[in-house]
Amino acid sequence: MIEPFIDSRGVILRRDLIAAGLDDKPLIRARKEGELVRLRAGAGCLASVWAQADRAERHRILSHAVKRQYGDDVARSHVSALLEIGGPDWGIDLRAVHLTSLFGSGERTQAGVVHHRGWIGVNDVRRHDGAWVTADARTALDTAAAAGRDPAVCVLDWVQQTRRATREELELGIARMKDWPGTVGLGYKLRLSNGASESVLECRTHLFCRDRGLPMPVPQYEIHHPSGLLAGRVDFAWPEHKTMAECDGLVKYLRLRRPGETIVQCVLREKKREDLLRRLTGWQMIRIVWADLERPAVLEADLRQRLFTTAA
């Protein structure tokens, strides 16, 4: 009986059943039978959809339900807007949905929803999924202001690398927000971003080198054939140390896969590309994975040994 009221995201609102002349019994029955998961008061989600959703997707589902409940008086903002446009969620608190009032009311937390009332200009919002979200530059800055240093830099790198916002737009936004609560240090976070990192792992590696006093690598370094034809691009390079590096993660290989290609085939193709780049440059290749950053002392020692031994 509840099927006609479930939307394309698997969400159902109690108010829709009431408007159709029904009561709570179909919802109660669906929850008891394990068909429905309660998201918050008045909103549920198909259990099958919820079970398959990861941490970020569960926030998007909840954000979608809240958006439907609140309507056009608010815009989804901060991390709730960031995830809607595909931004990174590493290191960011996803427990609450964030809304910014378009009419200056709010600044409270209620039932898993944080209501903000920061100043909103015409260019600070746009339409997405049939409702308001904060514009990309504003979204990145709001998220970065509330996040720790490293997650914030990852967000600021992403929004620049994907060309959703320019550095100039972000700097202008920071200038406007300089007196807002919680924005101290936002300019510093932006200065730490390079706008070129294509993944969270790359961004974290860049910050790691800075924090450990290691030589700073050149991001997205291009290597060419003697003819001048582009042979390939690596995530990082230290030309003066004759070293290049790739940051390896499953997401990267999923991104690099060609249509119909398996992960194994993709990895083998990448191996051939690496062999070619080593032949062309005579440089060594370092591969950095997520687990390496969990052993910072070991990673630092390895990088120092490989960089400075090669340079010598």
The DSSP secondary structure of 174-200, one letter per residue, reads: HHHHTTSTT-TTHHHHHHH--S---SH
In contact, 197 and 210? CB cutoff 8 Å: no
**Is a pLDDT exceeding 80 seen at residue 157?**
yes
In contact, 83 and 56? CB cutoff 8 Å: yes
pLDDT top residue among 80 and 178: 80
In contact, 170 and 178? CB cutoff 8 Å: no
The separation between CA 33 and the C-alpha centre of its own chain, rounded to angstroms, equals 35
pLDDT top residue among 250 and 71: 71
Q: Taking every pair of C-alpha atoms in the chain, what is the biggest distance, in angstroms?
A: 80
* Predicted local confidence at residue 268, as pLDDT: 75
* Predicted local confidence at residue 225, as pLDDT: 96
**Mean pLDDT computed over 211-227:** 96
